[in-house]
A and B are shown apart, each in its own frame.
Chain A
Amino acid sequence: MKRFSSDWYWYYVINYTLVILIIFPIYWTFISSVKTPAELITSDPTYFPETWTWKYYFQIWNYDLSSTWQLSSDDYMRLETKSLKESIINFFIPNEKKSIGRAFWNSCFVSFGTILLTTIVCTFAGYALAILRGPFKNIIFLLIITPILFPGVSLLIPLYKILKDIGLLNNLYGLIFLHSTFMLPLGVFMMRNAFISIPSSLREVAILEGTSELQIILRVLLPLCIPGLLTVMVFAMYVSWNDYIFAYVFVTTGEREVLNVALAKIALGGNEFDMKWGSITAGSVISFIPIIIFYTFLQQYFVRGVTGSAVKE
């Protein structure tokens, strides 16, 4: 197809318009979170904040999110800006037990646990599927891969019962197990493919040199599987960080709530209007930051993991 320069003009006009439209909700969230309450609820919205403030962030990071969650403008006015050192300490040790800060660290814990568990289990299973022989190998592979067809949401009720029976209800470890398991079929499949694509002679040489099985996995083969491994890790993070249903249904104790669920308390709670939307946008930005960082650096693995899970190759 021959293109004229005016075509390129339209190509960029259309693309930039789309980019602006798609990024706008996120931009709007961010600037809403740094506006002052007065500016937030003017009838004429400002497209760039006149005065910047980070008070919402400090406030929700520490505020007690118990059942009577009410934030008032008075709380907001009383809030003093802390010194850098205090802020850093406060970032790692939020004041209240049921605050967004606490929920953030809960989410981090669950995501990190899921990444760790998924990586270990998928690597071992993928390696095993590459070295195993005999009829059982195919049966096991089918057993692991078939549940990719099960819709997670229709299993909520039986899962609730199981978690209750084994005492993992209301428990962050329960969430780690669930997130990891729902990620397993795809993860094992990817790691198996990664290990199979490595020539077996490499492993045989290592065995002749007397290397142990674990060392073969970690030192010899795994470095060659980095793309597959990263896809699995990034996808595990995506699944775990973004999960809402499991956390909402299975973890109901305030201090163990994860970020997504704790934010619902603000979004659906009955606190004062200007405080509510400033807080919720600030909370949303806190939730977006880790994903944005990962996406910026590991974008191709995100795309591969997320579409791979959808396509189920």
Chain B
Amino acid sequence: MRRSDKEQIIGYLLILPAVLLVLIFLVYPFLNSFYMSFHKWPVFGDAKFVGFKNYIKVWKDDQFWNSLYFTFLYTITVTPMLFALAIPIALLCNIKAKGSTLFRSVYFFPVVLSFAVSAYVWMWLYNESNGVFMYGLRYFSIVSDDYNIWLERNSSLLAVNIQITWKFFGISMIILLAGLQSISDDYYEASKLMGASRMQTIWNVTLPLIKTSIVLCLILSIAGSMQVYEPFLIMTQGSPANSTKTLVMHIVDVGLDYYKLGPSAAMGTTLMIILLIITSLQLSILRKDNK
């Protein structure tokens, strides 16, 4: 046996564990969710092919549309909030000064904390009688004494959005910052020579130059928000009256609590298609930028 042949065999052996894991836990479930969505899954007995029946069932399900609507609502409200914090802080971090790296690492810090545990922390801050956040709101007379933030859909949504913004603006901030740092100083020099004010420079020079980073953050935020689950599962549990139930929450409930695997898989596939469209959009933008 030639040495290079032996090398190739060793290569295939070394890559085998990775291939197996990916096949078993990613590719197979991916294909299986398509398969399941076209079958009826009785508690006993074999699966039966039913065509698009599961999808039709899902389309007639009011809660599916409510959840999808709420997930969209969450996505279009949380994204501007993330940007409102991420862009100014990225600009701030781009200034080279003493302590700027320390500030940056503090801003990124909430990102590394767990979704679930940061949700518990914020539940305590939002607690109606002793939460310090509510105390602050009462102090400035924004809310009445016995105000409970979880009793209405919109206030619950806002509460979760604030928590998510706190937790996640760091990722957008770092991506935008990478974009900012790639801008050559020449642009700023030119802008200064033309007598532009600082706001004009930011608006007309800086932001257009990091357009790709902004679009990338936008798509990331949209794709991530569409999959939202833990914050609402922990903080609202879908209440009041299922009005804050997200799509993923509904998928899990239908699949595992009611054991309707077919419709659940059909919803999962729908979500996956939506997300694949968003992600492929992201990749095509990146590819265009690299050219």
Residues of chain A within 8 A (CB-CB) of B192 are 1
Q: Chain A contact residues (Cβ within 8 angstroms of B): what range? A: 35 or more
Closest-by-CB residue of B relative to A313 is B286
Q: Which residue of B lies closest to A234 (CB)?
A: B112
A244: chain B residues at CB < 8 Å are 114-116, 230, 234
- CB of B55 closer than 8 Å to a CB of A: no
Check if A157 sits within 8 Å of B264, measured CB to CB: yes
A90 on the B face (CB < 8 A): no
> When A150-B30, A156-B251, A244-B230 are in contact, do A284 and B105 touch as well, CB less than 8 Å?
no
Task: Let me know if B234 and A267 touch, CB within 8 A.
Answer: yes
Q: Is the interface of A mostly helix, strand, loop or mixed?
A: helix
Shortest distance in angstroms between A29's beta carbon and chain B's nearest beta carbon?
5
Partner of A267, one of B110, B120, B198, B271: B120
Q: Could you say which residues of chain A place their CB within 8 Å of the CB of B207?
A: none
Interface stretch, picked from B59-67, B95-103, B146-154, is: B95-103
B28 CB-CB contact with A under 8 Å: yes
Most buried by A among B28, B124, B272: B124
Are B99 and A154 touching (Cβ within 8 A)? no
Within 8 A of A (CB), among B215-242: 216, 220, 223-224, 227, 229-230, 233-234, 237
Given A1-B201, A158-B32, A311-B216: A45 and B18 interface contact (C-beta under 8 Å): no
Chain B residues with Cβ below 8 Å from A122 are 18
B45 at the interface (CB under 8 A from A): no
| Minimum distance in angstroms from A142 CB to a CB of chain B | 11
A184 adjacent to chain B (CB < 8 Å)? yes
A65 adjacent to chain B (CB < 8 Å): no
Residues in B1-26 with C-beta less than 8 Å from chain A:
3, 7-8, 10-12, 14-15, 17-19, 21-26
Contact of B115 among A40, A242, A249 (CB under 8 A): A242
A84 at the interface (CB under 8 A from B): no
One of A11-19, A92-100, A222-230 at the interface: A11-19
Query: Is A220's CB within 8 Å of the partner chain B?
Result: no
Q: Quick check: is A134 within 8 A (CB to CB) of the other chain? A: yes
Contact of B229 with A184 in the complex, beta carbons under 8 Å: no
8 Å CB contact of A295 from B89, B112, B230 = B112
Is A238 interfacial (CB 8 A cutoff)?
yes
Q: Of residues 184 to 201 in B, which have CB atoms within 8 Å of A's CB atoms? A: 188, 192, 198, 201
Tell me the nearest residue of chain A to B111, going by C-beta: A306
Of the residues B8, B92, B121, B127, contact of A29 by C-beta under 8 Å: B121
List of A residues within 8 angstroms of B127 by Cβ: 277
Q: Which one of B113, B125, B275 lies within 8 Å of A288 (CB-CB)?
A: B113
Shortest CB distance B107–A (Å) = 6
Q: Are B18 and A184 in contact (CB under 8 A)?
A: yes
A131 to B251, CA, bound (A): 43
Smallest CB–CB gap between B119 and chain A, Å? 8
- Point out the residue from B21, B174, B237 that lies within 8 Å of A303, measured CB to CB: B174
| Contact residues in A for B275 (Cβ distance below 8 Å) | 149, 151, 154
Considering only residues 161-187 of chain A, those with a C-beta below 8 Å from chain B are: 161-162, 177-178, 180-182, 184-185
Asked whether A155 and B11 contact (CB < 8 A) given A263-B116, A284-B117, the answer is: no
In the complex, B78 has a CB within 8 A of chain A: no
> What's the least CB distance linking A88 to chain B, in Å?
25
Shortest Cβ gap from A123 to chain B (Å) = 9
Number of interface residues of B (CB under 8 A): 92
Type the 1/0 row for B118-142, where 1 means its CB is closer than 8 Å to any CB of A.
Answer: 1011111101011010010000000
In the bound assembly, the distance between CA atoms of A147 and B18 in angstroms comes to: 12
Query: B112, A15: Cβ atoms under 8 Å?
Result: no
Q: Check if B157 is an interface residue, CB within 8 A of chain A.
A: no
B28 → A minimal CB distance (Å):
7
Q: Is the CB of A263 within 8 A of B18?
A: no
The answer to whether B230 and A245 touch across the interface, beta carbons within 8 angstroms, is yes
Instruction: Select one of A14, A125, A155, A242 contacting B14, CB under 8 A.
Output: A125
Residues in B27-85 with C-beta less than 8 Å from chain A? 27-30, 32-33, 36
B203 part of interface (Cβ distance < 8 Å)? no
Asked if A15 contacts B92 (CB within 8 A), the reply is: yes
A307 at interface by CB-CB < 8 Å: yes
B238-277 vs A, Cβ < 8 Å mask (1 yes, 0 no): 0000000000100110011000010011001101100110
A162 touches B24 (CB 8 A): yes
Does the CB pair A131–B229 fall under 8 Å? no
CB contacts (< 8 Å) of B114 on chain A: these are 241-244, 260, 287, 291
| A interface, CB within 8 angstroms of B | 1, 8, 11-12, 14-15, 18-19, 22-23, 25-26, 28-29, 32, 40-43, 45, 120-122, 124-125, 127-129, 131-134, 136, 140, 143-144, 147, 149-162, 177-178, 180-182, 184-185, 188, 207, 213, 238, 241-245, 248-249, 260-261, 263-264, 267-268, 277, 280-281, 283-284, 287-288, 291, 295, 299, 302-303, 306-307, 310-312
Q: List 7 A-B contacts (CB under 8 A).
A: A128-B15, A151-B223, A154-B269, A177-B21, A284-B117, A288-B113, A288-B117
